[in-house]
Amino acid sequence: MSADFPAYSPSEEHELLRRTVRDLADAKIAPGAAEVDETADFPQEAHDALVQNDLHAVHIPEAYGGAGADALATVIVIEEVARACASSSLIPAVNKLGTVPLLLSGSEELKKRYLAPLARGEAMFSYALSEAEAGSDAASMRTRAVRDGDDYVLNGAKMWITNAGVSEYYTVMAVTDPEQGAKGISAFVVEKSDPGVSFGPKERKLGIKGSPTRQVILEDVRIPASRMVGAEGTGFKTALATLDHTRITIAAQALGIAQGALDYAIGYVKERRQFGRPVADFQGVQFMIADMAMKLEGARQLTYHAAIKSERAMLGERIPDLTFISSACKCLASDVAMEITTDAVQLLGGYGYTRDFPVERMMRDAKITQIYEGTNQIQRVVMSRQLLK
């Protein structure tokens, strides 16, 4: 095996972390998952439990008061929380999404100012790239940031922002030079309390209902130039580099949702009896279970492999295929999650279609993993470009 593709084996620390997070999720997060879905309320109890156990933003380096967990550990945390409640898994996932731009390109001043409160659990961090007319084509964004002395003044509206209104901080992409296209986009940290920041109504969604998705509206929001992330005009490059790392966390979420559905389906078919015997005794059901587990494990290994590469890249190593591998794991894991959760509903029959059982919620939650942080059609475009360039 070449040096570019090292053998992978989870450490004892990773497995201990998995057991710790699973126990916490089973005890503190899973019991409220159905209610969170029903009421569409932010899972505050899950957030508090994660903060109390220092699991809300494990990726923050120790230098800024964080746990300093590697990318694989972060994947495991998100995966295990998602197994219990997809909405709750967006707490550690989006905290990472919002802060990776700072970790990649931010000044030391910005890192100290914003990463420390996040590490302490005093704030959450969201990411604001998309707009109503700039989803897959993010470079066509219209939000403007105009220089005014030592400040920038931001105007525009960001769409589909996860945990908007709950998060205290936002990494916002805005056009600073309209003549330069993608090279005229810059990144900024915007605070919820900044005058001129407001939020649209909550989107009424198919799934992940406990994680608020809202517009972030910017009306003459004046912020100091020191809150720019990296140099002017580098924002879109930072955004794309960020997604190379955070698509992997969406894959982790998809793995967790799929694992939760598979676990529940296995338990159900072993107990449910038809024609005088457990449903699990029928070969057609056995083949479905085998295929579900096989596909899930394949997606998991690709995702863990991508996490290893992400960590090496964050440490400064050049990883030429990170863009490909992160797109591949996100695309595969989310497609697999949709398939597994659909099959889980099928295995429960009529019960699977009711809200009395969790697999219909998992099926609804899984769908978004094929859409956000780049639709799976866009992921295939990304992968093909990497292969053909």
Residue 382 CB partners (closer than 8 Å, separation 6+): 323, 324, 327, 374
**Dist CA 122 CA 117 (whole Å):** 5
Separation in Å, CA 180 to CA 143, 173, 185, 276: 14, 14, 8, 71
CB count within 10 Å of CB 334 equals 30
How far is 119 from 319, CA to CA, in rounded Å?
Answer: 28
- Which entry of 79, 311, 360, 373 is annotated as an active-site residue? 373
Q: Give dist(CA 311, CA 188) in Å, integer.
A: 24
- Decide if 373 is catalytic: yes
- Spatial CA neighbour of 102 closest among 113, 90, 117, 91: 113
Angle at 162 between CA 160 and CA 167, to 5 degrees: 130
Query: What is the residue whose two structure tokens read 């964050």?
Result: 314
Both tokens of residue 277?
Answer: 């015997």
Active site residues: 373
